[in-house]
Amino acid sequence: MAWAVLAAWVLAGCMPRPAGDGWAGWQRMPLHAAEFFQLWQRGGDRLLITFGPAGTTDTTGLFLVPGEGGGGEAPSGAVRVAQPLRRAALLSTTHASFLSALGRADAVVGCAHVDRLRDSLVLALARTGAIAEIGGAEGVDREKVLMLAPQALFVYPYGGGANLTALGPLPVIPVAEYLEPDPLGRAEWIRAFGVLLGRDSLAQARFAAILQRYGQVRASVPPGLPRPEVFFGSSWKGTWSVPSGRSYMARLIDDAGGHYLFDDRRTEGNINVDLEQVLLVGARAAFWGRVLDEQRPVRPGDVAGDDGRILALPAFRGHGAFFANSRTSDLFGQAGLEPDVVLQDLAAIFHPSLFPGHRPVYFRPVQ
């Protein structure tokens, strides 16, 4: 079955196809919010389908995880993955948190950019020399990967397949959790890792707990409460880039009881906004947020892009500047598995009276 045909079929949500192409008996497993992977089952067998930036029209892989007594005919193009994975290599440090959350930090034998690891369990193993460096600015060290003999290599779909030829039959599994527009969709990738690592029941339990905690925080913000206007973005050489209204940050701001100023821009990806429009729209904002990477204490000017015109806006005059510092918190790793913590940080910024004494973990107001 060609990838395009498969993608169209999956998008249409059809039932498994007739016997003869490997789809007989397969049933799709329900997911809560994730859009960039699917799980299917046939008896004890599991099938993971991964998608790239274009969604279900951009299938990046099919991975068969045979169950006990399984191993029947596989869908065309499916790659068999050892069950459970006991040795894995990571192209992105952000994937370490998923293995750690499932009690399988010990399965990581190699990682690109080991010096950027933030997960405490995986980092501790790396410091003992148990995890090898497999790549850096020059790309993936294919010989090192092969020497480590992992049973799978986890990559990211955007550029993640570059320089990965000559890896033989090694399953290369794209993980696109960062593309999920719903915070719970990002966390739900623990389900995909659970299937691959033989921890499916634990993964389901962990996600159910995340879902419950997130709902509790969201419910703690009364729906009738006034919703302050919120600007969020980053700047480069005078041009600001802001998330669309259909994005991870837009959803978090909404669930935290704020009103994202670009909520009506429902395009895919970020939106470039010139300074004139930023000043016009930003004049309505009570809060102004940004992601930073700073070793020193964050100043209002850091959030404003060191632009005096922005510093003169109401959000900054009213002490509404807030930020997340990826240098001091695992914003791109552990935060994905703690959307409830991220949500409470934001809700406490927008509605501090609802969360007295809250100690921020990821997002915090500028002091």
The rounded distance, in Å, linking the Cα atoms of 30 and 214 is: 19
The reply to whether 217 falls in a domain is: no
**CATH of residue 327:** 3.40.50.1980
Task: Assess contact for 203 and 191: CB atoms under 8 A.
Answer: yes
Task: List pLDDT tens digits, range 95-143.
Answer: 999 999 999 999 999 999 999 999 999 999 999 999 999 987 678 888 9
Q: What is the DSSP secondary-structure string of 323-364?
A: EEETTTS-TTTGGGG-HHHHHHHHHHHH-GGGSTT---SSEE
172 and 141 fall within a common domain: yes
The rounded distance, in Å, linking the Cα atoms of 153 and 246 is: 30
Task: List pLDDT tens digits, range 235-265.
Answer: 887 789 999 999 999 999 999 999 999 999 8
The rounded distance, in Å, linking the Cα atoms of 260 and 229 is: 6
137 and 258 fall within a common domain: no
**What is the share, in percent, of the chain residues with pLDDT greater than 70?**
91
Q: Which of 321, 320, 229 is nearest to 281 (CA)?
A: 229
Count of structural domains, the chain: 2
16 and 48 fall within a common domain: yes
The reply to whether 215 falls in a domain is: no
The total of other beta-carbon atoms located within 10 Å of residue 20's CB is 8
pLDDT at 157: 80
Where a domain ends, among 186, 210, 234? 210
121 and 191 fall within a common domain: yes
Phi/psi zone of residue 115: left (φ > 0), alpha (ψ -120 to 50 degrees), beta?
A: alpha
Long-range contacts at 82-85 (CB < 8 A, ≥ 24 apart):
82/151, 82/152, 83/196, 83/198, 84/196, 84/197, 84/198, 84/199, 85/151, 85/152, 85/196, 85/197, 85/198
The rounded distance, in Å, linking the Cα atoms of 275 and 235 is: 9
Range of the domain at 263: 224-365
Task: Assess contact for 80 and 60: CB atoms under 8 A.
Answer: no
Q: Which residues contact 180 (CB under 8 A, 6 or more apart)?
A: 33, 34, 35, 36, 186, 188, 189, 248
188 and 264 fall within a common domain: no
165 and 254 fall within a common domain: no
The total of other beta-carbon atoms located within 10 Å of residue 268's CB is 12
Query: Position 359: which residue type?
Result: R
- pLDDT class for 8, splitting at 50, 70, 90? very low
Task: List pLDDT tens digits, range 168-225.
Answer: 889 999 999 999 999 999 999 999 999 999 999 999 999 999 999 999 999 999 998 9
322 and 350 fall within a common domain: yes
Where a domain ends, among 210, 240, 261? 210
Whole-model pTM: value is 0.90
pLDDT at 9: 38
Where a domain ends, among 152, 186, 210? 210
| Cα atoms found within 13 Å of the Cα of residue 3, Cβ hemisphere only | 12
233 and 99 fall within a common domain: no
For residue 92, the 8-state DSSP code is S
Helix axes 189-197, 200-219, angle to 10 degrees: 160
H/E segment holding residue 312 = none
236 and 302 fall within a common domain: yes
294 and 233 fall within a common domain: yes
Task: Assess contact for 77 and 5: CB atoms under 8 A.
Answer: no
Mean pLDDT of 322-346: 96
177 and 254 fall within a common domain: no
- pLDDT class for 71, splitting at 50, 70, 90? low
pLDDT at 227: 97
The rounded distance, in Å, linking the Cα atoms of 342 and 364 is: 10
- Please tell me whether residue 42 adopts helix, strand or coil conformation: strand
Q: Which of 276, 256, 254 is nearest to 266 (CA)?
A: 254
